[in-house]
Structure 1
């Protein structure tokens, strides 16, 4: 099993579970450990990938009845021998070790039965050839969980101010109705996709507005699906063409000492954002 010597390890201790744990408990323990050890969460650990793969091997043995039975015999035998070893004084211990060594030598290659170690090796080789459906399912579960965590992290890093959406529609010259659109109408059309952080109608240029959503998904859906009035369709575009693909790269590891300062800053930004957008649109209209 690659460079992982199963028979020399306590797999239950590694997963922090009891030897009598059920398969369900083993899987649960594996998931917890795998999520902690995955290379994506440990970029500074050069052995992270190796540890993750080793956990798969451990899961493979403990979720296969035959392999687990062979492993348990070795583990229990070692624990019993260790206990007996402690009970013997130095002299008797040496005699016992010599006797056991002679017995192993005498039976080597002639004993028809298979030792627990041989049985375990055979079971591990079988698993290597056959694969394990349970292991594949658990690995996929862990990967899905990691993907969900990443998605939640991305959502948490969303900053609508860097992903503004420009809205345009046709307006005839001297049209006092602004092409049939009002602030309230635009807000109704857009709010069905999610919470709007700010919506501003251009104060100087008819047929133009800017919107910021509070989360990425809402913004993306609005750009993809909103058409407005069929008689005068809306055209939604990212102000920054790279907004959809890049997202923000802010670290989620914010120091506690910085939290108050960051919170106050964001509050001030929220108050000023509408004014800044209006100013930007006014300048755009003058070009």
Structure 2
């Protein structure tokens, strides 16, 4: 039996949710009306008349059987839900690409110097907050300070999804560039990759850009700062929505800790925290 056949349509009846509500009498009536038209005696010149009439009888038998009809209704419902999910995913992908393009236009429309100043201030502020946490931990005899969550605070579903998305850049788009398959291979080492969207446009791009959606936030965090790509064409991996300028694209010469961008900023912060911890241990030994 062909699973793509809609038995309701074969009998000339409405399908989907409306078809599932039809009574046995309505189904039998539909079959009789259709049989009067497709019966081989009524179509002596049609070489397919017998085959078509057999298909009609089969569809009628399927809908007459209570169990078979329920399974068929379940199949139609599952297909409708599958089409709806695909439509939602396509709409979500279009929104992601459109949102990224809007953010990029807004970022490049601003004064680069102002953008860089705000970026450095943000990194400096976050670094100070982290250092304060380390100091508080030592003040409490090594017990880490746990930040309490605000009662009643709710996270928007879209914001939760964005935490799983990574913004990936690279300098060269020629033979040394990256395909969706190659990016999926690199990021899958840190967890399941749900989707990879390579940004494309009518104008010629000097740099490559893509969105990588991980299955979980933990996988996205694990991949952040650990995916480097080729040494000749390194990857810049940032959280989704982080504004960057051309100066943040990594190169083989950008390994010094004074470069506050992408992976190097994390290395700089880890270095500072390591020095603080070592200083605290030395102070304890002296005491």
| Structure in which a larger fraction of residues adopt helix | 1
TM-score between both structures, scaled by the size of structure 2: 0.30
Higher RCO structure, 1 or 2 (CA under 8 Å, sep 6+): 1
Of structures 1 and 2, the larger Rg is shown by 1
